[in-house]
């Protein structure tokens, strides 16, 4: 027995170590499987079996709701026409679960859910063909076919550099028959567009030729944004002195000095992402831009990243404060399914409820509303144009350009009239 005891003891010890190792592996496998399952559910790799509720231990879980596809609720101060169709929610039965504590995996799962929502939004826009305004989606760019240039006018290709960076741009110089130019307009194209396409689609060169205006068309490139959008939704590109606002304002200062155009006759206009950046410039550089034209855009301060940009585009976010930066003329299609028309009311520095309202009709029969405001000094204030039956496109544009609606009314002519009337 004395010879066998050490053997038995060793065998028992080895068996215990084996069992302990198996238990440890099983525990790790269970933890890994659970983590993988939860992360997979967050990524949407397979359906959830139960709704997980994240709550503090002393708080009851909140009711879960499903939001039905609908327009966002009416925003205070916005025109009634902009807020038709309030959003509705349908409560679902709540499955109560025991409270649990926060873990690092909860944060991972939350990030995954947010990423999944962003991806789902991009897929939806792709399916609907509405990705022209998506802040970072790769897509085919508009062809570089430009407008015809009349004899004596110029459509030069140039480049501008400053401490904040540089951009290429097109400069339209009309046939100046007498004296200096009457003004300068910075024209900001939308996503997946370029200066040549934007000049062709808006027909703004024709307006500049008739009124003696200098036009500056900056070019955004895929290396700066995958869809060649102006980065209106990034915090680093929303303030004075840095990023794209500094580049664009510096570009205008340079051209205005070259042609002797005073600051009170420098303006900015843009479509979609370009319209949103025009609003940024109007607020960040009121000493450079006397007025702004925003077509189908979004108000400054409603987004700080791609996720919040989608919410702003849907009209679900109102700016924390009213618009600033001088006079605005805003165009928006009532049937815009890319940028909700509720955004139009947020772009005006004045209370649109006090505006004079006039209903008009184009020669082709399209109905529009024009709301005009007067400043405290009696000079022309801002204007809001809501175009019935129009979508996400430049109103009154030429069919040869992208994102245009030739049925009108003519946004280019209205903007030029508005700019010069207040100069």
Q: Which CATH number does the domain housing residue 188 bear?
A: 3.40.50.1820
User: Into how many domains does the chain fold?
Assistant: 1
- Is residue 19 domain-resident? no
Cβ neighbour number for residue 396 with a 10 Å cutoff: 23
Those residues of the chain that have pLDDT short of 50 are: 1-8, 10-11, 32-33, 35-36, 38-115, 123, 125-132, 134, 136-140
Please report, for residues 154, 194, 350, the alpha-carbon distance to residue 149 in angstroms, rounded to integers and kept in the order given: 7, 17, 38
Report the pLDDT value the prediction gives residue 317, as an integer from 0 to 100: 82
Report the pLDDT value the prediction gives residue 25, as an integer from 0 to 100: 59
Q: Are 363 and 353 in contact (CB under 8 A)?
A: no
What strands lie across the sheet with 183-188, from one edge to the other?
154-162, 165-173, 213-218, 183-188, 266-271, 291-295, 327-333, 380-387, 367-374, 356-361
Cβ neighbour number for residue 410 with a 10 Å cutoff: 18
Q: Greatest CA span in the chain, whole angstroms?
A: 122
Q: Which residues contact 191 (CB under 8 A, 6 or more apart)?
A: 132, 133, 134, 135, 139, 225, 227, 228, 229, 272, 273
Report the pLDDT value the prediction gives residue 238, as an integer from 0 to 100: 94
Distance separating alpha carbons of residues 325 and 158, to the nearest angstrom: 28
Distance separating alpha carbons of residues 366 and 84, to the nearest angstrom: 20
Report the pLDDT value the prediction gives residue 374, as an integer from 0 to 100: 77
Q: Which residues contact 244 (CB under 8 A, 6 or more apart)?
A: 164, 165, 230, 231, 237, 277
| DSSP H or E segment with residue 381 | strand 380-387
- Is residue 116 domain-resident? no
Query: pTM, whole model, 2 decimals?
Result: 0.69
- Is residue 417 domain-resident? yes
Report the pLDDT value the prediction gives residue 328, as an integer from 0 to 100: 94
- Is residue 171 domain-resident? yes
406: tokens are 């030739």
- Is residue 308 domain-resident? yes
- Is residue 60 domain-resident? no
Distance separating alpha carbons of residues 310 and 298, to the nearest angstrom: 11
Q: Which domain holds residue 319?
A: 154-421
CA angle in degrees (0–180, nearest 5) for 290-292-296: 175
Q: Which residues contact 46 (CB under 8 A, 6 or more apart)?
A: 40
CA 3 distance to own-chain centroid: 84
Going by their DSSP bridges, the two strands 356-361 and 291-295 should be labelled as unpaired
- Is residue 208 domain-resident? yes
Distance separating alpha carbons of residues 290 and 50, to the nearest angstrom: 57
- Is residue 145 domain-resident? no
Q: Which residues contact 163 (CB under 8 A, 6 or more apart)?
A: 246
CA end-to-end distance (rounded Å), the chain: 112
Place of tokens 């585009």: 313
Angle of helix 104-128 versus helix 306-313 axis, rounded to 10:
50
Question: What b-and-e string marks burial along 222-249, b requiring 16 or more CB atoms within 10 Å of the CB?
Answer: eeebebbbbbbbbeebbebeebbbbbbb
Distance separating alpha carbons of residues 44 and 54, to the nearest angstrom: 18
């Amino acid at each position: 027995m004395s010879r066998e005891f050490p053997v038995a003891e060793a065998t028992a010890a080895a068996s215990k170590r084996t069992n302990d190792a198996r238990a440890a592996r099983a525990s790790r496998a269970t933890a890994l499987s659970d983590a993988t399952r939860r992360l997979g559910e967050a990524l949407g790799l397979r359906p959830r079996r139960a709704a997980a509720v994240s709550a503090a231990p002393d708080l009851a879980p909140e009711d879960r709701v499903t939001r039905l596809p609908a327009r966002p609720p009416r925003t205070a101060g916005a025109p009634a026409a902009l807020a038709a169709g309030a959003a509705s929610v349908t409560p679902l039965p709540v499955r109560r679960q025991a409270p649990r504590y926060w873990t690092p995996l909860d944060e991972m799962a939350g990030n995954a859910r947010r990423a999944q929502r962003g991806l789902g939004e991009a897929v939806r826009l792709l399916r609907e063909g509405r990705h022209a305004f998506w802040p970072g989606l790769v897509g085919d760019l508009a062809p570089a076919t430009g407008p015809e240039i009349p004899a004596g006018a110029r459509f030069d290709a140039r480049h501008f550099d400053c401490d904040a960076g540089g951009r290429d741009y097109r400069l339209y110089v009309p046939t100046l028959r007498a004296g200096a130019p009457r003004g300068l307009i910075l024209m900001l194209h939308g996503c997946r567009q370029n200066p040549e396409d934007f000049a062709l689609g808006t027909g703004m060169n024709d307006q500049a030729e008739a009124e003696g205006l200098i036009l500056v068309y900056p070019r955004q490139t895929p290396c700066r944004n995958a869809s060649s959008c102006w980065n209106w939704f990034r915090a680093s590109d929303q303030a004075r002195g840095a990023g794209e606002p500094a580049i664009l304002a510096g570009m205008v200062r340079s051209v205005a000095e070259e042609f002797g155009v005073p600051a009170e006759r420098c303006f900015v206009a843009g479509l979609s992402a370009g319209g949103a950046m025009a609003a940024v410039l109007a607020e960040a550089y009121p000493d450079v831009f006397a007025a702004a034209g925003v077509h189908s855009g979004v108000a400054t301060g409603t987004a700080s990243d791609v996720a919040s940009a989608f919410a702003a585009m849907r009209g679900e976010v109102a700016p924390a404060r009213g618009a600033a930066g001088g006079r605005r003329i805003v165009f928006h299609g009532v049937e815009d399914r890319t940028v909700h028309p509720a955004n139009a009311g947020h772009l005006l520095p004045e209370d649109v409820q006090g505006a004079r309202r006039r209903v008009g009709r184009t020669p082709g029969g399209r109905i529009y509303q024009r709301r005009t405001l007067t400043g405290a000094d009696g000079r022309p204030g801002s204007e809001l144009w809501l175009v019935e039956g129009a979508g996400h496109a430049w109103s009154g544009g030429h069919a040869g350009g992208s994102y245009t609606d030739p049925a009108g009314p003519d946004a280019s002519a209205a903007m030029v009239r508005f700019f010069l009337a207040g100069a």
